[in-house]
């Protein structure tokens, strides 16, 4: 007997194939609700931010850069957001901040600062993301 599990419309489709009846595929459309569901937002959870920094370290940045950091933190702390999406949006936001400066010197200074910030998210971001998702989400069948 062969068992194949494939995603279908947010659930899983379980297909059984037997050797005894090769022409008959027993497609048991078992929509396994407890499998394949995404976590749900915890009741009362409100995403929060600590500005630009992590683990008690806060960087002094411009108001515009801090707004990018806040957006990044909110992204991490919103249930079911993807890590790559948060990182991509963060880099785009920082790039847009630097593009607003009128002189090359100011733009270069902004870019250097943002390289340090994004190096920090590269080193520590995944752990912070996972912890934030843990705080923001609950499993669908949890009562809490």
Tens-place pLDDT, residues 40-55: 999 999 999 988 987 7
Averaged pLDDT score across all residues of the chain: 78
Query: Could you tell me what percent of the chain has a pLDDT over 90?
Result: 53
Predicted confidence (pLDDT) per residue in 10-19, tens digit:
443 444 444 4
86-108 mean pLDDT: 96
Cα angle: 88, vertex 103, 120; to 5 degrees: 35
List the alpha helices (DSSP H) in 1-144.
63-76, 83-99, 104-136
Q: What is the pLDDT of residue 134?
A: 93
Which of 63-77, 78-92, 116-130 is least confident? 116-130
List the end-to-end C-alpha distance of the chain, in Å, as a whole number. Answer: 40
Q: How far apart are CA 27 and CA 46, in angstroms?
A: 42
The mean pLDDT of 71-82, rounded to a whole number, is 95
Q: For residue 9, name the pLDDT band (cuts at 50, 70, 90).
A: very low
- Which DSSP string do the residues of 55-71 spell out, in sequence order? TTEE----HHHHHHHHH
Neighbours of 14 (CB within 10 A): 18
Put simply, whether the predicted model's pTM sits higher than 0.85 gets the answer no
pLDDT(3) > 70:
no
Residue 30 to residues 13, 34, 37, 66, 141, Cα–Cα distance (Å): 6, 11, 14, 48, 18
Structure tokens that stand for 97 in this block: 């901040």
Question: What pLDDT band is residue 78 in, cutting at 50, 70 and 90?
Answer: very high
């Amino acid at each position: 007997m062969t068992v194949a599990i494939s995603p279908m419309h947010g659930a899983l489709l379980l297909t059984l194939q037997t050797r005894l009846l090769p022409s008959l595929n027993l497609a048991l459309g078992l929509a396994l609700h407890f499998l394949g569901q995404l976590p749900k937002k915890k009741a009362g959870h409100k995403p929060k931010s600590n500005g630009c920094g992590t683990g008690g370290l806060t960087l002094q940045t411009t108001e515009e850069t801090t707004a990018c950091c806040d957006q990044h933190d909110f992204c991490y702390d919103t249930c079911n957001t993807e890590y790559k999406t948060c990182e991509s949006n963060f880099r785009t936001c920082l790039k847009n901040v630097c593009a607003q400066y009128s002189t090359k010197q100011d733009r270069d200074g902004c870019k250097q600062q943002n390289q340090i910030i994004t190096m920090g998210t590269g080193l520590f971001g995944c752990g912070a993301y996972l912890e934030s998702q843990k705080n923001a989400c609950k499993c669908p069948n949890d009562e809490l």
